[in-house]
Structure 1
């Protein structure tokens, strides 16, 4: 679907920044180095900030990792079609959380999503009590959900790497020396990296299996751990997990994950 989407004014109004003020836009630091960066880089910083807001809200809502990942993917896919300047990213993120909970059958009450996201965004303000404000946000989310669905062609699902990483970790644990595996937090590091990569669009660019292999490769690299007999093996361990991946592709994904971590340093 193309980036532009023709909507009637009543539907579009709640989402556009100029018309909707309950979820204010992200604040940008006006330092000289930031002004010199490209418009694209500034957008990526905003997206990082919004996904961090979504993750924090998701934790408070007791969402599990799969719905949170799905919410981030919905958010990134939407802004792959639409300009950041045209829509309130906080409202899109909040709606993506609600939509992901439906997609992954981990249903959340709309009122809970609104209240938690509002408190996460406005920590220095009292909770929403006005029924008018709650009703306005509920209506905005309903319109926003339809906008997202139409923008994504009513296809909001994408295969996630979680099940692959779980399988790969179990298999790798059987290959590794038990003492090395138990004293090195490879498992925790891999899951943390997988969670972190959703702050950027790298989650959209690669197959689920490739992302799982890359975070596992990166975790082993961080601790200087080598898979036993990998150098002597005819088939490398990553080829066992995913036949169509190359080491060059793995390193490319790792570089993109590092770019996501670089964004955090620039906030």
Structure 2
């Protein structure tokens, strides 16, 4: 993937999140929409397909997959407004019905391209479980005054702007993001100096230093990409 393509994908994922929030979609359906988009363009090029059409369709498919079904009419209207901020809202006319039919037809096409595999395990549940586990290791005051959990959740949300979700297992992503959050705040997990197994191995025993390093590097690259995409 070239830097130019990466910047386009970053902008389109930001569009997915903006439109999804306007549609009151929760974090997991938004994550599923992002994965659908990334998986589609892992096999196809930007020269072949309109990324914003695929993104709009991904929102519609994700809503169904995660049982947060949103009317196609609302998705078309919200996505149109997110793309055309200076234009008036769509009226119930030829343009609206043309867009609606295009997204409806694209839904089946995207599903076929993904071989109807749109059920994914996300890091969210692992992150929640691991944070609750680690909380018991810290002194209450230390945990409450350091926003480790909030930082890790922010990293997770932002990570979908890149392709981290396609590169590593959800359990590993959760651990890697917690590790990164701890580093950012200069905090170490208590009682680690005299243990044979580090805390991250306790959480998932098949993770390695190299995996954690790669996860952190991908997230940092994604933030660098944000700077490039907005300049």
- The TM-score, its normalising length taken from structure 1, stands at 0.84
C-alpha deviations, 1:160-196, integer Å up to 9, x for none? 1100000001011111111111111111110000000
| SS in structure 2 at match of 1:254 | helix
Structure 1, unaligned runs of 5 or more:
1-38
Q: Quick check: 1:257 aligned with 2:229?
A: no
CA distance in 2, matches of 1:140, 1:172: 47
Q: Quick check: 1:136 aligned with 2:98?
A: yes
Q: Quick check: 1:70 aligned with 2:36?
A: no
1:156 to 118, 136, 139: 118
C-alpha deviations, 1:92-119, integer Å up to 9, x for none? 0011001000000011011111111111
Q: C-alpha displacement at 1:158, in angstroms? A: 1.7
Question: How big is the alpha-carbon RMSD for the aligned residues of Structure 1 and Structure 2?
Answer: 0.9
Partner of 2:151: 189
| SS in structure 2 at match of 1:266 | helix
Partner of 2:138: 176
Partner of 1:79: 41
Partner of 1:20: none
Large movers: runs of 4+ above 4 Å: none
CA distance in 1, matches of 2:106, 2:60: 11
Partner of 1:204: 166
Comparing 130-139 with 159-168, which one deviates more in the overlay?
130-139
Partner of 2:194: 232
Structure 2, unaligned runs of 5 or more:
none
Count residues in correspondence. Answer: 229
Comparing 39-48 with 59-68, which one deviates more in the overlay?
39-48
C-alpha deviations, 1:198-241, integer Å up to 9, x for none? 00111111000000001000000000000001121111100011
Q: C-alpha displacement at 1:131, in angstroms? A: 2.0
